[in-house]
Amino acid sequence: MGLFENRNTQLPLWFMRQAGRYHKHYQKFKTQYSFETLCKTPELACEVTLGPVNDFNFDAAILFSDILFPLERLGMGLTFDPAPTLSKKILNAHDVNLLQPISSPDEFYLFQKKALTLIKEKLSPNKTLIGFVGAPFTLYTYACEGSHSGNLINAKAGLYNGTFKAFSKLIISELLANMSVQATAPLDAMAIFDTAAGELSLQDYERFIIPMNKQLTKSFKEFFPYVKIIYYSKHTNLDYLKKINDNNIDVLGIDWRINMADALNEFASQYYVQGNIDPTWLTLSQEHLKSNLDIYMNRTLRKTTNLHKWIFGLGHGVLKETPEENVKFVSNYIKNYQF
Q: Are 95 and 89 in contact (CB under 8 A)?
A: yes
Q: Are 241 and 233 in contact (CB under 8 A)?
A: yes
Q: Are 307 and 301 in contact (CB under 8 A)?
A: yes
Mean pLDDT by 10 residues, the chain (339 residues): 83 97 96 97 98 97 98 96 91 95 96 98 96 98 83 95 97 98 95 96 98 98 98 97 98 97 98 98 98 98 95 98 98 96
Question: Using CA atoms, how far apart are residues 263 and 267, in angstroms rounded to an integer?
Answer: 6
Question: Using CA atoms, how far apart are residues 2 and 24, in angstroms rounded to an integer?
Answer: 25
- Give the closest residue to 248 by CA, choosing from 213, 212, 217: 217
Long-range CB contacts for residues 184-187, cutoff 8 Å, separation at least 24: 184/113, 185/112, 185/113, 185/114, 185/116, 185/117, 185/120, 185/131, 186/116, 186/117, 186/120, 186/129, 187/116, 187/120, 187/129, 187/130, 187/131, 187/224, 187/227
pLDDT of the residue at 146 = 81
CA dihedral 45, 48, 54, 55 (to 10 degrees): -170
pLDDT of the residue at 1 = 61
Cβ density class 226-259: b for 16+ within 10 Å, e for less: ebbbbbbbbbbbeebbebbebebbbbbbbbbebb
Whole-number Cα distances in Å, 247 to 33, 140, 190, 215: 41, 24, 15, 12
pLDDT of the residue at 6 = 78
- Give the closest residue to 21 by CA, choosing from 1, 51, 41, 42: 51
DSSP string, 37-51: HHHHSHHHHHHHHHH
Residue 275 has φ and ψ, to the nearest 5°, of: 140, -165
pLDDT of the residue at 334 = 97
- Give the closest residue to 311 by CA, choosing from 281, 280, 268, 257: 268
Instruction: Classify domain 24-335 at the CATH topology level.
Output: TIM Barrel (3.20.20)
Query: Burial level of 211, CB count in 10 A (0-12/13-18/19+)?
Result: exposed
Q: Residue 203: helix, strand or coil by DSSP? A: helix
Instruction: Tell me the residue type at 38.
Output: L
Question: Using CA atoms, how far apart are residues 103 and 146, in angstroms rounded to an integer?
Answer: 23
pLDDT of the residue at 151 = 86
- Give the closest residue to 137 by CA, choosing from 234, 72, 44: 234
Q: What is this structure's pTM?
A: 0.97
Question: Using CA atoms, how far apart are residues 25 and 222, in angstroms rounded to an integer?
Answer: 38
The number of helix segments (H) and strand segments (E) in the chain equals 16, 9
Q: Are 226 and 184 in contact (CB under 8 A)?
A: no
Element (H, E) at 240: helix 238-244
Residue 24 has φ and ψ, to the nearest 5°, of: -60, -35
